[in-house]
Structure 1
Amino acid sequence: MLTMALLVTALQFGGMILYSFGFAAFIFHVLPPKDAGPVIRQAFPHFYLFVLATSVVGAALVAPARPLLAIVLALIAVTVLIARQVLMPAINRATDSQDRSRFKLLHGLSVAITLTHIGAAGWVLVQLGA
């Protein structure tokens, strides 16, 4: 079970890194901003579902042997669900209404949450690998 938890957490960590620093940057590099924004908007719900699923599966796999790690993964799941259901729609509303200051604030919060998730998943990964 711990080996599977390690693999799922590695998938989560790598996927978050790839999406955040690879895919999103690539989309904004190859598409004009007016096209890149809608593409990213369509991709984010899937990103959040990926993080949610890997967090829940990882937490379930690691819980019997390492409850603290399961709690960290479960906290990622809860906070990504909030980000997907509450924060993302608020960011979209700010974009649609062209409220740049609100967008910057909410987007900054989204980035901080995602970086925290990456850090937490990385910590769990290191603990599982030790």
Structure 2
Amino acid sequence: MILSALASLSLALLLGGMAFFAAVVAPLVFTRLPPEWAGRFIRQLFPVYYLWLIATAGIAALALAPGRPVDALAMALVAALTIWLRQGLMPRINRLSDAAQAGDAAAKPRFDRAHRLSVLLNFAQLVLAAAVLLRGVDPLS
């Protein structure tokens, strides 16, 4: 019972954080701040955002492991992918953005591809977290 509640809470916090960032934070930052400030702010925010995802997905994975091992594996995958996004892809995106702003014409399409990949992977993580959360909802209760 306690693990189930912990899993549900972690999943809700994971999903809520992802949805809030995508629907509220990112659009506000890029519509309300000058472009040079928006980029700097987002660069500071993303590492914290990714730590939130790693922590909540990791806790959910541990809480789900005894009773729902497939769902636990899915959340462990979300956490592991987020580690790669934070430590691998995000620094690459930042370097490409800097190069594009410095006038490197070849960096812009590479930045666009890397950014699209990060958005796609983040969306896939959101869908996976929602599916795991909904699988745990008992329709008869």
Common fold: TM-score over 0.5: yes
Q: Is 1:113 the counterpart of 2:115 in the alignment?
A: no
Mapping for residues 98-109 of structure 1, pairs under 5 Å: 98=100, 99-109=107-117
* Deviation (angstroms), 1:17: 0.5
Partner of 1:92: 94
* Deviation (angstroms), 1:7: 1.0
* Deviation (angstroms), 1:4: 1.4
Residue ranges of structure 2 left out of the alignment (5+ in a row): 101-106
Partner of 1:40: 42
With structure 2 as the length reference, what TM-score do the two structures score? 0.90
Residue ranges of structure 1 left out of the alignment (5+ in a row): none
Higher helix residue share? 1
Partner of 2:104: none
Look up the equivalent residue of 1:68 and give its one-letter code: V
Name which one, 1 or 2, has greater alpha-carbon Rg. 2
Note the aligned Cα RMSD (angstroms).
0.7
Which whole-Å CA distance do the structure 1 matches of 2:125 and 2:87 have between them?
16
Partner SS state of residue 136, structure 2: helix
Mapping for residues 66-85 of structure 1, pairs under 5 Å: 66-85=68-87
By relative contact order (CA 8 Å, sep 6+), the higher-ranking structure is 1
Which whole-Å CA distance do the structure 2 matches of 1:63 and 1:55 have between them?
12
Which whole-Å CA distance do the structure 2 matches of 1:15 and 1:121 have between them?
11
Partner SS state of residue 117, structure 1: helix
Partner of 1:19: 21
Partner of 2:53: 51
